[in-house]
Amino acid sequence: MKTYNVAVAGATGAVGNEMIEILEERNFPVKNLKLLASSRSVGKTITFKGEEIKVEELKEDSFKGIDIGLFSPGGAVSMKFAPIAAASGCVVIDNTSAFRMEPDIPLVVPEVNEHAIAGYKNRGIISNPNCSTIQMVVVLKPLHDYAKIKRIVVSTYQAVSGTGKKAIYELEQQVLAIYNNKEIEKKVYPHQIAFNCLPHIDSFLENGYTKEEMKMVNETKKIMEDPNIQVTATTVRVPVFYGHSESVNVEFENEITSEKARELLEKAPGVKVVDDPTKNLYPLAIYAAGKDETFVGRIRKDETVKYGLNMWIVADNIRKGAALNAVQIAEVLIKKYL
Ligand code: NAP
Ligand code: 3JN
């Protein structure tokens, strides 16, 4: 079997760590694995397939001989290093928002628009969408193909792991401090996150929305290849460690019953329907954590419009929302293109 030299940039982070685990779990044909992070991490080691690999500093010459670069070092770092890596012949799969909306860079969720991967040839870069967008489009694509979506109204309930390792620590520490009657520390979020919900993810824009909300609006249209789908979003951070949940209201051009939607989703790739209210069964973040599928339930008619549905969508934001989706793209890349 052909094997590949793979580099993970951002290897010590929440997403990078998960990418390394998923490469091992899925037995990705790795010849050599190079682990890259900031100068702060030089000297650390990470185990891959029983071997301790030293973390190196991400530098301009890091990509000589590398075939595939899995990037999650933050937007500014990707903006600088992804083109350098691509120029040295490496195909970059980038988890940041740096290139997502560039017209000649594919933005890919394999279950939805796998064919777009061919566009890696343009600039040697493929973008991985935002986690909240990924889990929503995996579920909505089969429904769009059947009944054509007119409008989506989504509210998210996003886990702290979406903000990285420091935010996971902040929630743990705040919970401990509150139980021990101590002052909480706020370093990552502007307000207490323990036992609270913050309607604020990423920075605010002039239109009153946050960047996270506008990522959902714009990325959905690009991935679904339909600029006419109307999307409006409210993104909320909740005190959950892993697993983003979403309340999604969809209005369609054509008729679609909740039974038909359930039938389509039972067959949809990467989707698992968990929808039996008589047994209190619906998707939950605590069960989605560590899983590959995107879970959907509470599928029901929106009784206020002619053709509409409401549903509840949950996925592991670090797996399907980031690392797994990136590795799935790499799998298609080696199978069909490299
Ligand atoms: P994290 O846990 O804070 O990890 C950040 C990683 O980037 C660490 O490995 C860090 O290395 C590295 N890094 C930071 N500055 C660097 C530099 N100047 N040069 C090289 N490496 C550098 O964050 P995360 O949750 O893994 O997220 C990382 C990025 O992935 C985010 O900024 C975002 O763009 C993207 N992301 C995407 C999704 C998605 O929805 N697809 C979800 C989450 C995150 P050190 O440990 O050495 O500091
Ligand atoms: O907050 C979340 O739940 C997901 C966060 C994603 C994220 C965090 C920092 C920077 C992104 C992203 O993927 O859109 C970025 C970014 O690259 O803009």
pLDDT digits 0-9 by tens, 279-303: 999 999 999 999 999 999 999 999 9
| DSSP bridge partners of 48 | 51
pLDDT digits 0-9 by tens, 26-53: 999 999 999 999 999 999 999 999 999 9
pLDDT, residue 35, reads: 98
pLDDT digits 0-9 by tens, 83-113: 999 999 999 999 999 999 999 999 999 999 9
pLDDT, residue 131, reads: 98
Ligand 2 in contact with 131 (CB < 6 A)?
yes
CATH assignment of 132-317, among 3.30.360.10, 1.10.540.10, 3.90.45.10, 3.90.1150.10: 3.30.360.10
Ligand 2 in contact with 78 (CB < 6 A)?
no
pLDDT, residue 313, reads: 99
CA distances from 329 to 21, 64, 112, 265 (A): 16, 22, 12, 22
Superfamily holding 4-129+322-336: NAD(P)-binding Rossmann-like Domain (3.40.50.720)
Distance CA 72, CA 127 (A): 11
pLDDT, residue 147, reads: 98
pLDDT, residue 261, reads: 98
pLDDT, residue 12, reads: 97
- For CATH 3.40.50.720, list the domain ranges present in the chain: 4-129+322-336
Q: What are phi and psi of 237, to 5 degrees?
A: -90, 130
pLDDT, residue 251, reads: 98
pLDDT > 90 fraction of the chain, expressed in percent and rounded? 100
Residues 6+ apart with CB under 8 A from 73: 9, 10, 13, 16, 36, 37, 38, 58, 81, 96
Measured N-to-C along each axis, helices 258-266 and 131-147 cross at an angle, to the nearest 10 degrees, of 120
pLDDT digits 0-9 by tens, 124-141: 999 999 999 999 999 999
Residue 187 CA, ligand 2 centroid: distance in Å? 17
pLDDT, residue 18, reads: 97
pLDDT, residue 71, reads: 98
Residue 207 CA, ligand 1 centroid: distance in Å? 27
Q: Give the mutation target among 38, 130, 168 for probing the ligand 1 site: most ligand atoms within 8 A of CB.
A: 38
Residue of the nearest CA to atom 18 in ligand 1? Answer: 38
Residue 68 CA, ligand 1 centroid: distance in Å? 18
Distance CA 202, CA 96 (A): 13
Angle (CA) 51 56 59, round 5°: 145
Average pLDDT of the chain is 98
pLDDT, residue 17, reads: 96
Neighbours of 188 (CB within 10 A): 16
pLDDT, residue 106, reads: 98
Active site (catalytic) residues:
131, 244
- What distance, in Å, lies between the first and last C-alpha atoms of the chain? 13
Query: What's the number of CA atoms in the CB half-sphere (13 Å) around residue 307?
Result: 16
pLDDT, residue 33, reads: 98
- The 3-state DSSP composition of the chain as helix, strand, coil percent (nearest 5) reads 40, 25, 35
pLDDT digits 0-9 by tens, 247-266: 999 999 999 999 999 999 99
Q: Which of 127, 34, 124 is nearest to 87 (CA)?
A: 124
Cβ pair 105, 122 in contact under 8 A: yes
Could you tell me the pTM of the whole model? 0.98
